[in-house]
Amino acid sequence: MKKISVIVPCYNEQEAVPFFYEEMVRVEKSMQNYSFELIFVNDGSKDNTINVVRELAAKDEQVKFIDFSRNFGKEAAIYAGLSNATGDYVVMMDADLQDPPALLPEMVRYIEEEGYDSVATRRVTRKGEPPIRSFFARCFYKLINKMSKTEIVDGARDYRLMTRRFVNSLLELSEYNRFSKGLFGWVGYKTKWLEFENVERVAGETKWSFWKLFLYSIEGIVGFSTAPLAFSAVVGIVFCIVAFLFICVIVVKTLVFGDPVSGWPSMVCTSLLVGGIQLFCIGILGEYLAKTYLEVKKRPIYICKDTNIDKE
Ligand code: UDP
Ligand code: MG
C-alpha cells in the first residue's frame, strides 16, 4: 500500500485546523488504497494551534506534528515537512482549505497512470483578493520570468503532489534563502499543471501583508536571477556613454562659441540623478551580498522544539 504524506504549514490556524482535518479525513475515505500521514508544522503560532494539533495526534496516530521554536516562515515549514515525510508521495497543503484536498485523487492518478513526477496547481482567478495585490502579483510574475531561466508560473500555489525522487531532489537544495516556487521549477522532472478557481480561506485570516509579499518577491528575484546585477552594470555603461557625449558637446561649444559657465541647476539635477542611481545599484549589490552572507553562515533552516515523529 502506497503512503501519502501531507504537509500542512500552520501559523495561527487554530480555527482552520479542525476544518482541514475533517475535510482530509473525508478525502482519505475515498482513497482506501492508500495510507496517510498528516504532518502539521506549527510555525511558531501565537494562538492555540499546537494544542489543537496535539489533540488530533492523541486520537489519530496518522497525525504527526513538528513544533518550531519560533516563527520561521512558510518556506521553513515546508522544508521541515519535506525532510520528515516518509511517504511514497508527498503533498503540501495550506491549513485554510484554499488548496482543496478533494483534488488529491486526481493528482495521484496523474502520477500513477501518466508517469508525471509532480502534479502542481495554479489558480486561474484571484477572486476575493484585493485588486492592487493581484496587479502587483501579475507584474511580479512577468518580471521574474523575464529575468530568470527557471520558469515561475503565475498563480502557482504551493499545493503540489510529488514522488519520492522529486522530494529527494528538492531536499538536496538545502539553501537557507528558500523560494519554493522557484525550487520546484529548478529541479525539473515532468510536471502536470491542474487549474482551479480561487477558494477563499475557511477561517482565520491571511498571514501575508502586502509588505511581506513584497519582501518575498525580492527573495524570489534575488534567489533565481542575477539580472539585476547585470542591469546595474548596463546602467553604469549607459551613463558613461552619455557623460562622454556631453563632454564632447561642451568642449566643442566652449571652443566654438566661447560660452561662459552657466547652468548650475542642471548640474545639481544631474549629480542628484547620478548619485541616486549609484546608490540604487549599490543597493542591488547589497541585496545579493546580504543573501550570500546569510547563506555562508549555514544556520539551520528551522529549530524543532517538539515533535511526535521519531526518526530512527
Ligand atoms: N504560514 C506559515 N508560516 C507563516 C505564514 C503562513 O506556516 O509565517 C502558513 C499558513 O498557516 C497557511 C499557509 O502558510 O497554512 C498559507 O498562508 P495564508 O493562507 O495566510 O496565505 P494566503 O493563502 O493568503 O496566500
Ligand atoms: Mg491561504
Tens-of-pLDDT digits for all 312 residues of the chain? 889 999 999 999 888 899 999 999 999 888 888 999 999 999 999 989 999 999 999 998 899 999 999 999 899 999 999 999 998 999 999 998 888 888 899 899 999 988 899 999 888 777 767 888 888 888 888 888 888 877 777 778 889 999 999 999 999 988 888 888 888 888 889 888 888 877 777 777 777 788 888 888 888 888 888 888 888 888 888 888 888 888 888 888 888 887 666 777 778 778 888 888 888 888 888 889 988 888 888 889 999 988 888 765
Amino acid at 237: I
Of 69, 63, 65, the residue nearest 44 (C-alpha): 69
The pTM assigned to this predicted structure is: 0.77
206 CA from centroid of ligand 2 (Å): 6
Provide the pLDDT for residue 38: 92
Using alpha carbons, select from 209, 182, 188, 199 the residue that is nearest to residue 102.
199
Residue 4: the pLDDT is 92
Contacts of 273 (CB under 8 A, 6+ apart): none
Q: Which ligand is nearest to the CA of 93?
A: 1
Question: 56 alpha carbon to ligand 1 midpoint, in Å?
Answer: 20
Beta strands across the sheet bearing 118-123: 191-196, 118-123, 156-163, 89-92, 2-10, 34-42, 63-68, 304-307
Pocket test for ligand 1, best of 196, 207, 208, 214 (most atoms within 8 A of CB): 207
Query: Cβ < 6 Å from ligand 1: which residues?
Result: 9-11, 13, 43, 71, 73-74, 77, 94-96, 98, 201, 206-208
List CB contacts of 133: < 8 A, sequence separation 6 or more: 126, 210, 213
State the distance from the centre of ligand 1 to the C-alpha of 199, rounded, in angstroms.
Answer: 14
Q: What is the pLDDT of residue 167?
A: 93
For the CA of 94, the nearest ligand: 1
Contact 103, 30 (CB under 8 A): no
Residue 286: what pLDDT?
87
Q: How far is the CA of 207 from the centre of ligand 2 (A)?
A: 8
The residues placing their C-beta within 5 Å of ligand 2, an ion, are 94, 96, 98, 201
